[in-house]
Amino acid sequence: TMVEGVRLARRLARSGALRAWDSRALMPGPLVRSDAAIARWVERNAITTYHFAGTCGMGEHEAAACDPRLRLRGVQNVRIADASAIPSTPVSALNAPSMLVGWRAAAFIQQEAAERPSSLAS
């Protein structure tokens, strides 16, 4: 939940690795302590301003969710054809890059279909 996320962020900020940087949560601030108060703060302040991408990043390495031809690793006949395949966010406006990924996926599918022998008798 978002409340758990705020609590985790606070724990991380107090951790030894970040303490040296004098890290502290600026928001919701030290006066917002109870779960109910954190939940109210989240309800009033949480907004979506980022376009998420890269959750199924493509690449040659084993950790990549899909290969460079957008095929989902470990599953047959499934491709990733949206911004989730982009390994890192290139720009904040992801409309054009997302369309490009979709077009590339369609081109890969068409190319592979053309290379397969037809199952229909002539």
Q: Which are the catalytic amino acids?
A: 51
Structure-block tokens of residue 104: 């590339």
Q: Is the torsion defined by CA of 33, 36, 37, 38 positive or negative?
A: positive
Structure-block tokens of residue 30: 């030290």
- Would you tell me how many other CB atoms lie within 10 Å of the CB of residue 21? 8
Measured in whole angstroms, the distance separating CA 104 from the mean position of its chain's CA atoms is 19
- DSSP for 80-95 reads --SGGG-SS---S--H
- Would you tell me how many other CB atoms lie within 10 Å of the CB of residue 42? 16
